[in-house]
Amino acid sequence: MAEQREGMITVRSDLGNYMEQIDQYTAQLPLTIREQMRQALYREYESDYEAQEALCREMLEAVPGNPDVLSMLGRCLLSQGRPQEAVQYLEEAHSADPGEQNTAISLGQAYQMLKEYKKAVQIFSEIDTPAEHHPFFYTAYGDCLENLGQKEKAREIYRKEVTHWEETREILSVDILDGCFVRTLYLDALMGAVELTVDLGVYKRFLTKVTMDANMQRRLAQNISFLSTALTVRTFRIPFRSLIREVEEQGYLLDSEQYFIIENAYRSVESYEYHEDNAVSAMMESFLSAESRAPMAGAGDEDTDAKLTALSYEWYMTRYIENHGEEMIYVSEKYPHTYMRTVTFLDQLQMLGGEGMRKAILDKLETFDDIKVPRDALEAGMEEAYQKALRRKKEPVYLTEGNVTYKRTGKKILPNDPCPCGSGKKYKKCHGRK
C-alpha cells in the first residue's frame, strides 16, 4: 500500500493503485509542474532515478524552493547513492516543512549513509513513531543506535518493525523486515533478553509466510552465518539449534546451493561446546577444528595453510589415537556433526594402520612447495611437533560482550583461523573484517 499525505507519495504499491494515487496527488499541485511530477513519480516507480532527477531539477526552475520537489530530489539522490548531495535538498525541504515526516526520514537516512549517526538519531528520535508505517524508518533508526553503542534502544526499535508485522501481517519489503528480524535476534542473544524465545517464534512464522525464492534462501543462509557469531553466549546455543532444526525440517534450503550452511551451523555450535568440554583434550580439539576446516578449503593458494594444518594433525592423531580411542568414541556420540568430518580419515587409518597412514601423510606433505626438507628431517620434525602439541593444555580466555563476561576455553580466534560462522573462510576475510 502506498503512503500519502497532502503531499508526497513515498512507498510504492502495485502499479494500478500507484498511478491512481499519483493522479490524486498531482491534482493538488500547480499546473506548471503537474505533468512533470506525474512523470517523475512514475520514473521513481520504474527505478529510473537519472530521469527522475532531471525532471526534479526542471521543476525547481519553475517552482524554486517547493518542499515536495526538494524532498523528491533528495530521495532520488539517495537512491543513486549520493547522500552528501541529498542532504542539501532534504535539509531545505525539512526547514520549509518540518512537520513532513517522510522528508525527515529521508534526511535521517542520508545522515545514516554518511555515518553521521548522532545527527540521524536526533532526527529519528523527534519522530519516534511515524504517523503511517514506513518500511525504512525502524531499520535505519536501529542501525544508527547500534552504531552508537545503544544496543538496548536499537533492539527496541528493531522489534517495533517485527511487532508491526506480527500485528498486521503486512510486508512492504521482505529484505528490510528480514534484516530487522536478524538484528533483533542477534541483540536478544547478546543481551540475554527474555524475549528471545518469543522473537524466534515470530521469525519462524515469518519464514513460513514468505516465498523461499533464491534471494530469500541466500538471505536465510547469511542470517544463520551471522547469528552463529553470537554462539559465544551459551544461553543462545539451544535457541540457535532450534532455528537450524526448523530450517532443516522445513526444507527451506533443500534445493539451494546454500544448503551446506545447515551442517556448518551444527558444527559451529559443537565447536563452542567441545572448546568448553574438559573431556575433550587440547589435541583432540585442534584435530577436530583442523578436520572441519580442511574439507571447506578450495584449490587456491590461500588454502595451503589449512591443508597443511589438517594433514599435520592427522599425522599426530595416528599416534594419539593408539592410547585415546575412548576419547574418539566420546566425540562421536556427543558431537556427531563434527565427528562426521573425521570418518574418512578414520577409515583410512583402520585400513592402512598407524605406520602406513603416517607414510601416506608424509607423501602428501612432500608435494607442497613449502616443504623443502629431506624426508627424514620432515618425519623428525613431525614427531617433535607432536610431542609439543601433546603437552599443550586448554587455557580459559575471559571475554566480554557488553555487560556480560564469560569464559571461553581455547585459543582466541586469530585472523587466519577459520571463521566460527562456518563459512569456510578465514576469520579476517569473513566476520573479522571490521
Average pLDDT over residues 175-179: 93
- Separation between Cα atoms, residue 397 and residue 1, nearest integer Å: 52
> Cell digits for 417?
583461523
pLDDT-based confidence at 199, cuts 50/70/90?
very high
Instruction: Give pLDDT, residue 368.
Output: 87
Confidence of residue 15 (pLDDT cuts 50, 70, 90): low
Using one digit for the tens of pLDDT, what is the confidence trace for 153-171? 999 999 999 999 999 988 8
Evaluate if residue 11 carries a pLDDT over 70. Answer: no
- pLDDT tens by residue, 253-279: 999 999 999 999 999 999 999 999 999
Give the pLDDT of residue 134. Answer: 85
Contacts of 429 (CB under 8 A, 6+ apart): 419
Q: Which CATH class is domain 1-114?
A: mainly alpha
Long-range contacts of 382-388 (CB under 8 A, 24+ apart): 382/312, 382/315, 382/316, 382/358, 385/312, 385/316, 386/315, 386/316, 386/319, 386/320
Q: Whole-number mean pLDDT of the chain?
A: 85
Share of the chain above pLDDT 70, in %: 84
Q: What is the C-alpha to C-alpha distance for residues 295 and 283, in angstroms, rounded to an integer?
A: 19
Mean pLDDT of 207-228: 95
pLDDT tens track for 81-135: 999 999 999 999 999 999 999 999 999 999 999 999 999 999 999 997 888 888 7
Domain boundaries, the chain: 1-114, 281-392
Q: State residue 400's pLDDT score.
A: 39
